[in-house]
Amino acid sequence: MNASVAIQVLPEASSQEELIRVVDEVIAYIKSTGLNCSVGPFETTIEGDYDELMDIVKECQKIAVKAGAPYVASYVKIVYRPEGEVLSIEKKITKHHK
């Protein structure tokens, strides 16, 4: 696992319910990739291979558009260590959730 990304997708929407519906479709897409992920209040973190993760990041905005958003603003964090391992989601948060 050489990379991890966290993405927040903010679709333009006519109501809070509509915004939540579009974000839920993006989260469903991320989960459908089968990669390990963690859904947080502002962003969803995914871990895996760098190239695959960046393709997923690119697709997230398209999913929001297909779900009906005319405009999307997203915020992405990327960590990448090509030779080795980045800190895993589990290592980062498990101890804090006890």
Q: Which residues bind a second copy (CB under 8 A)?
A: 4, 6, 8, 10, 16, 27, 38-43, 45, 50-51, 54, 57-58, 61, 65, 70-84, 86-87, 89, 92-93, 96-97
Q: Least distance to a second copy from the beta carbon of 48, Å?
A: 13
Nearer to a second copy, 18 or 43 (CB): 43
Closest contact distance (angstroms) between CB of 70 and a second copy is: 7
Q: Least distance to a second copy from the beta carbon of 81, Å?
A: 5
Pick between residue 32 and residue 83 the one whose CB is nearest to a second copy. 83
CB of 44 to a second copy, least distance (A): 8
Check if the beta carbon of residue 70 is closer than 8 Å to that of residue 21. no
In 3D, which of 52, 54, 55, 20 has the Cα closest to residue 39?
20
**Best CA proximity match to 57, nearest among 16, 1, 4:** 4
